[in-house]
Amino acid sequence: MATEHSVAAPSGDQTRIHNIGYRTYDGPRLGRAYARRSLYSQSLRGAYGLGRSVKSKVLPMLLFVVMCVPAAIMVAVAVATKAKELPLDYTRYAIVMQAVISLYVASQAPQSVSRDLRFKTVPLYFSRPIETADYVRAKFAAMASALFILTAAPLLVLYVGALLAKLDFADQTKGFAQGVVSVALLSLLFAGLGLVVAAITPRRGFGIAAVIAVLTISYGAVSTLQAIAEAQSSTGSIAWIGLFSPITLIDGVQSAFLGASSAFPGGVAPTNGEGVVYVLLTLGLIAACYGLLMRRYRKVGL
């Protein structure tokens, strides 16, 4: 029975400062909402490698730069050539850069959720005041915010550049706003899909491959089918095929309602009726991802 107040450092520890004994904590305990916010900010920082090793900062930072550089070049060109408008619409930017976005989701969604599952850290969270819903919401919000930063930052570069090039203010502001709404939707959708896939494949490396597969293979399949449909001049089916991959889903939504020009073959944009289906499916998918994550984490409790 060690009754003396000595720290368990029996020998060879000259660096030890005076032992001041155990101090109790009487300060505030900020509870669930604070813990959820802390988890959110820790996850968001982690998505850019902040607070993690130097090695894990490389990829997200690199992808962020890769996202922004083309925007900067476009702005430089627009300013230099005194162009009347930007070479690329705000809404088109994310569609063109989709490979970079997919790569970012594939690298960061697994690190956000799979690590906790793989190293069984999840039970430690749930032995604290936060509950399943808090954990899922914090992680979802953090991933979506990280994606929003990634996709909205280049739009901001374009917007600021456009204003510097003295392009039409009202026109640019409208385009920028439409682009921001579009990437916000994209961020939510991609974050949800990425997290769900990562949460069911906790094994190292596996999650990355699975996310890439879901995001890019579906796009490959959909655009191939759309090209075939166009070749057979059945343009009516092009819009419906577009429902089956995340990026074409976003493309459809913004072509129908956010004034974007469609990237579908032949520039076929969904009609308003089809557009409603696109919006409903997008929102439904986001909700389904949230539901699936909740179900997944209810199981892993302790």
Residues that bind another protein (CB under 8 A): 1-3, 5, 7-9, 13, 15-16, 21-25, 27-32, 34-35, 38-39, 42, 51-53, 56, 115-116, 119-121, 123-131, 301-302
Interatomic CA distance for residues 68 and 114, integer angstroms: 28
Interatomic CA distance for residues 201 and 210, integer angstroms: 8
Q: Tell me which residue has tokens 């802390």.
A: 38
Closest contact distance (angstroms) between CB of 143 and another protein is 18
Structure tokens given for 235: 């343009």
Angle between helices 272-300 and 169-200 (to 10 degrees): 40
Give the burial class of 288: count Cβ atoms within 10 A of its Cβ; 0-12 exposed, 13-18 middle, 19 or more buried: middle
Closest contact distance (angstroms) between CB of 4 and another protein is 9
Rank residues 9 and 58 by Cβ distance to another protein and give the closer one: 9
CB 46 within 8 A of CB 52: yes
Rank residues 9 and 61 by Cβ distance to another protein and give the closer one: 9
Closest contact distance (angstroms) between CB of 146 and another protein is 18
Rank residues 34 and 169 by Cβ distance to another protein and give the closer one: 34
DSSP annotation string for 154-201: HHHHHHHHHHHTT--HHHHHHHHHHHHHHHHHHHHHHHHHHHHHHHH-
Rank residues 119 and 169 by Cβ distance to another protein and give the closer one: 119
Closest contact distance (angstroms) between CB of 209 and another protein is 20
Q: Tell me which residue has tokens 């961020």.
A: 187
Closest contact distance (angstroms) between CB of 32 and another protein is 6
Rank residues 125 and 159 by Cβ distance to another protein and give the closer one: 125
Rank residues 114 and 216 by Cβ distance to another protein and give the closer one: 114
Which among 273, 288, 193, 216 is positioned nearest to 239, based on CA atoms?
273
Closest contact distance (angstroms) between CB of 211 and another protein is 20
